[in-house]
Amino acid sequence: MSADPPASPRRALDGIRVLDLSRVLAGPYCCQLLGDHGADVIKIESPGGDDTRTFGPPYVANGASAYYTGINRNKRNLCLDLSTPRGQSVLRELLAHTDVIVENFKPGTMERWGLGFEEHLAPAFPRLVHCRITGYGVTGPLGGRPGYDAVLQAYSGLMSINGQPDGAPVRLGVPVVDLVTGLHAFGGIMLALHERASSGRGQLVDCALLDTALSLLHPHSASWLADGRVPRRTGSAHPTVAPYDSFTTATGPIFIGAGNDRQFRDLVHVAGRPELADDVRFATNRDRVVNVGALTAELGAVFASWDRDELADRLLRVGVPAAPVNDVAAALSSAQAEHREMVVRLGEYTGVGIPLKLSATPGSVARPPAALGEHTREVLRAFGHDDAEIERLIDDGVAFAGDDPAITRAPRRG
């Protein structure tokens, strides 16, 4: 008698259904995190598709961009024209069997469709958690205005503290505002689901890119609130810790961060300059920050002859944080990234791994990113539509299936 196959491990969000109506980055990233941990995520796209499907090159599976596939795995895909009354009616049917909806439409869109949270969703679907992501919120002087990551980096002051001291403000090299807003949305949804377990009611999770961007200004925001001095750009250096900067070695740049006096003493010992620990200019972190120019010159002269990998290894062994300044290829190919399973493969799909590790209910990659409309028939059938009804919706241009060429030539709808 053969043994039963091993059961698939439970995931933390098994049994939770999510409708992902969001586009671009913050919302899709949030929903991918939910899907990674077991939620049944149904991404609803317009016939024109999520804008990021065209954000390339490079392009990978199904002709979609690598950008799109990086944030849309573990989702089924339903292509539905929500600008039509029948499309909105189908959406209401889905909401009756949904735990979470995530959307980043232009403020007022959901209300125009008769799906505003306070007026419609909360009374009709009291257990529904509605996550709304906007640029500036929906009220206030800029309420309802559009906002992309870099625009909010500029408005919030993030760009002003990024770059070289004598250079212009520079956009951070990754869309950090969007990504962290996605994390905040993920956390807010978890909080709302936890509270729902007690109250039986859902609530609105309100996330704005501006709020995220302002929250990312630490420690510059705390410093300005304390003494009113406008922070300046410091390049790779830290404004209140020294040494905490990149240095040039014989084999490339290295970043070293000595966050306390013990680490500084160990750092200069490894560097062969132990007397610097007793130099009055560098005795404490306050002294080192005040005299950071002299400190950087002293250390820079020493490190210029070192091999950076050897230096990083020696410093790490004595407890001083240090690392070679890797490029993306080196980082994703590193032995530690492999050990942490931070590159995952599923068939032809390759993506960044799951950063949140749970011991009892680990996340997993079960579905590669889907083609536009790939699961339209499957999803509608699961929600009670018979085949004849589904074909009528497709024939009438309300729903679109993955094998329908109309989705590639339909106009984008907002």
Which CB contacts under 8 angstroms, 24+ apart, belong to 379-382? Answer: 379/42, 379/76, 379/78, 380/78, 380/90
* Assigned token pair, 28: 């899709």
C-alpha angle 15-35-200 in degrees, rounded to nearest 5: 40
Residue 190 backbone dihedrals phi, psi, to 5 degrees: -60, -40
254: helix, coil or strand?
Answer: strand
Instruction: Calculate the alpha carbon distances from 207 to 181, 183, 229, 306 in Å.
Output: 7, 10, 29, 47
Q: Which of 81, 99, 178, 404 is catalytic?
A: 178
Q: What single-letter DSSP state applies at residue 277?
A: G
- Cβ atoms 212, 184 nearer than 8 A: yes
Residue 88: CB atoms within 10 A of its CB come to 18
Which CB contacts under 8 angstroms, 24+ apart, belong to 113-122? Answer: 113/82, 113/88, 114/88, 115/88, 115/91, 117/204, 118/204, 121/95, 122/202, 122/204
- Cβ atoms 18, 94 nearer than 8 A: no
How many CA atoms within 13 Å lie on the side-chain side of 337? 14
Is 36 annotated in the active site? no
Tokens 């304390």: give the residue. 226
CA dist 389 and 5 (Å) reads 38
Which CB contacts under 8 angstroms, 24+ apart, belong to 407-411? Answer: 407/47, 407/49, 407/79, 407/372, 407/373, 410/47, 410/48, 410/81, 411/47, 411/48
Tokens 């970043």: give the residue. 255
CA dihedral in degrees (114, 205, 375, 12; nearest 10)? -150
CA dist 392 and 369 (Å) reads 27
Pairing of strands 252-257, 244-249: antiparallel
* Assigned token pair, 142: 């800029």
**Cis ω before 219 (30° cut-off from 0):** yes
Q: Please identify every residue annotated as catalytic.
A: 178
